[in-house]
Structure 1
């Protein structure tokens, strides 16, 4: 058997292949960013914002619970098998989005998409962390999330272009068929399992390999509220995706009401995840250099300024949307790799996959909570107020991290 070693340089080929797979995973989410809310209003004539946002709620809840069990499944069946399962579950999604006869079929597509993302994206995260070891976690997560969310943005832009030129359906969703087939084939024939690297890291960090692995319930409590650092990280992750869930549903309808064109909305929806993705190439290694906490705190505050600009209507709508989305993307780029690296710093390698699953549970519940909050507030007040409320909640979350979290970069392994 070939001897293994931890490190990005030592495992760059497999790491690069996982980057490619994660781009395809992210592209599947990008399919929905621009077009699906407009399908609800223009094709199915749905008038309620809350009903329109129901597809995001379904996606977020299912993805959150799938994240929760993904680490347990990975430990039982290997990372690779769970990755392949994620792609198999996602195969029907682009077909359902392209040809769904009713809104309920769109909801079914998002249930399957949530399961697929919870399995596949979780495994690309865990596998990269496995490969690189402790020294380069921030860089690894920066590259991983840059690939995934860069693909989200580019696909959102592409689907906006296709929708403007060919109609809302089915053409924008054809790209998803290519993504699922390519992702499944790469995962089956090219990607190698990485669980052995976890055992190697545990040995090198003097973790007791003979001790019983704690239960998922123990890890859930530890990650959710017992450990103050993991609590701070989990709530910040939730609020980050609350912002994303809110913007996913609100922005297409908000800017359409301000007479922004479909292509303009596509650019607004694309620029957020593109900046978010590309920025992490810088912020990932920066988290390794200056620490996790500064990037998390200031990243939350930068997102607040993005909300202020978008919701203020001081500027021409397209300009405000683009500037605000750049700030949202920049703030999220600062936060995202630092959060993942922070969980990996605190959690023991033997239960790290489960802890990351719990963190991602709370983070992706933010999609559902953000969409639900936005739908209720938009129906009761306006879409503008939904944006303002998200900004206020983001500010409070940043204060919580500032006051409650310690720097985790050099914490000894538990």
Structure 2
């Protein structure tokens, strides 16, 4: 028996059999989610109180999310390719190393541009570390568990986003905004880096085994052949404008980030303008994040059973309606219900989009195609934030940004309905 055959026999796919490493990867996503969550509510509040951004300076206010989206999207584009070449673990660790300046920039920032600089490093951290934690879990799991994997991944990450936002807002009230951001960011950073260095294992061999099994099922040779290896340029073209299913998924990923950008930048400003306290506004936003995260434990595996398309389209439309409803409400209870509604919509579409991309990818190209999808998805932060800022600035009304998001989500869902075939998980 050859050494490669012996190694292959030791590799078993499945969440249960790899549960220890799977849990470590979930913890990584939770901590990465905390890094972005601690900026929710607190940073938009700082924009006015400490950096003198008037409520009507919408374009300048959105700059930190525009920059975050551009950086994270770029990292997503290359992180998958880098992990295919160098492995998942080195890319994960590098994501934590580039996050080191974040707490210090937030604490010592003399002007808004330091905050924008901090979000550059935040985008690097998110693009590298979050991407690798997801790819590693997909490596370890069975192909029939992709929806469940995405559900668990996004539950861990976005529940952390909501929880960290509320904790940061509470600490900001008692300690001060800068002190709260510094303590939380530094603590999360150190824990994430140490756990990645000492407890996370490399999972690329599990991905290679997925590829071998898929080729055997398809009657192909398991020996790599150059004719089956597409360049990254070819993969990008295929995913972006040649494959209608991937085009549908990529545009939906881009547009759904309009909702998250709205919640991140403008909803805190809108709620604070309605005379809510920082903690009250943060609690409403936390409902969105926690419902989004928790519901994915249901919607992720559900998509493995009933298919992806209906959940994606329904989720897009639910989010659109919820975004529009926010500006026609004037009670904390109403805003809380609508935040939960948007969270449910995001839970329907978010893990399902990633699982659907994996369905339409060969195993040896999956990390790269998921990276391309995440590039377009997180590019939506930049496009959405900029468009919302411009619309709100031009009209002089923050409510116009909510209408823009609602219309965009409805139209994007319609494209998915037309372009994406009905499918469940595959064995690729």
What does residue 14 of structure 1 align with? 21
Task: For 1:87 and 1:119, locate their aligned partners in 2 and report how far apart those are by CA, in whole Å.
Answer: 8
**Contact between 1:309 and 1:323, CA under 8 Å: does it hold in 2?**
no
**Contact between 1:254 and 1:383, CA under 8 Å: does it hold in 2?**
yes
Q: Which deviates more, 91-100 or 275-284?
A: 91-100
Pairwise CA distance, 1:410: 4.7
What does residue 376 of structure 1 align with? 390
Q: Does residue 412 of structure 2 align to residue 397 of structure 1?
A: yes
Task: For 1:410 and 1:34, locate their aligned partners in 2 and report how far apart those are by CA, in whole Å.
Answer: 37
Residue of 21, 31, 42 corresponding to 2:38? 31
Pairwise CA distance, 1:321: 2.3
What does residue 163 of structure 2 align with? 154
**Contact between 1:306 and 1:323, CA under 8 Å: does it hold in 2?**
no
Q: Does residue 51 of structure 2 align to residue 44 of structure 1?
A: yes
Pairwise CA distance, 1:98: 2.2
What does residue 194 of structure 1 align with? 203
The size of the alignment, in residue pairs, is 411
Alignment of structure 1 residues 104-115 onto 2, 5 Å: 104-115=113-124
Task: For 1:411 and 1:178, locate their aligned partners in 2 and report how far apart those are by CA, in whole Å.
Answer: 40
**Contact between 1:159 and 1:173, CA under 8 Å: does it hold in 2?**
no
- After superposition, the C-alpha distances for 1:375-405 in whole angstroms (9 at most, x for unaligned) are 1111112111100110011000111111111
Q: Does residue 323 of structure 2 align to residue 307 of structure 1?
A: yes
Task: For 1:408 and 1:131, locate their aligned partners in 2 and report how far apart those are by CA, in whole Å.
Answer: 22
- Cα 1:410/1:244, change in 2 over 3 Å: closer
**Contact between 1:41 and 1:52, CA under 8 Å: does it hold in 2?**
no
Residue of 260, 268, 285 corresponding to 2:284? 268
Q: Does residue 352 of structure 2 align to residue 338 of structure 1?
A: yes
Pairwise CA distance, 1:199: 1.0
What does residue 97 of structure 2 align with? 88
- After superposition, the C-alpha distances for 1:363-383 in whole angstroms (9 at most, x for unaligned) are 001111111111111111211
State the secondary structure of the residue aligned to 1:312.
coil
**Contact between 1:309 and 1:320, CA under 8 Å: does it hold in 2?**
no
- After superposition, the C-alpha distances for 1:29-73 in whole angstroms (9 at most, x for unaligned) are 001111111111110101211111100111010000110000111
Residue of 381, 399, 415 corresponding to 1:367? 381
- After superposition, the C-alpha distances for 1:113-153 in whole angstroms (9 at most, x for unaligned) are 10111000000111011110311010011001100000000
Pairwise CA distance, 1:229: 0.9
State the secondary structure of the residue aligned to 1:170.
helix
Task: For 1:85 and 1:412, locate their aligned partners in 2 and report how far apart those are by CA, in whole Å.
Answer: 31
**Contact between 1:300 and 1:335, CA under 8 Å: does it hold in 2?**
yes
- After superposition, the C-alpha distances for 1:62-94 in whole angstroms (9 at most, x for unaligned) are 000110000111012110000000000012212
- After superposition, the C-alpha distances for 1:237-269 in whole angstroms (9 at most, x for unaligned) are 111111111221101111111111111111122
**Contact between 1:160 and 1:265, CA under 8 Å: does it hold in 2?**
no
**Contact between 1:37 and 1:53, CA under 8 Å: does it hold in 2?**
no
Q: Does residue 309 of structure 2 align to residue 293 of structure 1?
A: yes
Pairwise CA distance, 1:408: 3.1
After the TM superposition, which parts of structure 1 deviate over 3 Å for at least 4 consecutive aligned residues? Answer: 410-413
Pairwise CA distance, 1:165: 2.5
**Contact between 1:63 and 1:115, CA under 8 Å: does it hold in 2?**
yes
Residue of 53, 69, 73 corresponding to 1:64? 73
State the secondary structure of the residue aligned to 2:144.
coil
Task: For 2:96 and 2:284, locate their aligned partners in 1 and report how far apart those are by CA, in whole Å.
Answer: 28
**Contact between 2:300 and 2:351, CA under 8 Å: does it hold in 1?**
yes
Q: Which deviates more, 100-109 or 355-364?
A: 100-109
Pairwise CA distance, 1:186: 0.8
Q: CA RMSD of the aligned region, Å?
A: 1.3
What does residue 3 of structure 2 align with? none
Task: For 2:208 and 2:426, locate their aligned partners in 1 and report how far apart those are by CA, in whole Å.
Answer: 19
What does residue 4 of structure 2 align with? none
Runs of 5+ unmatched residues, structure 1: none
Task: For 1:320 and 1:370, locate their aligned partners in 2 and report how far apart those are by CA, in whole Å.
Answer: 25
Residue of 233, 248, 251 corresponding to 2:267? 251
Pairwise CA distance, 1:225: 2.0
Q: Does residue 363 of structure 2 align to residue 349 of structure 1?
A: yes
State the secondary structure of the residue aligned to 2:327.
helix
| TM-score (structure 2 length as normaliser) | 0.93
Task: For 1:293 and 1:376, locate their aligned partners in 2 and report how far apart those are by CA, in whole Å.
Answer: 32
| TM-score (structure 1 length as normaliser) | 0.97
What does residue 423 of structure 2 align with? 408
**Contact between 2:144 and 2:426, CA under 8 Å: does it hold in 1?**
no
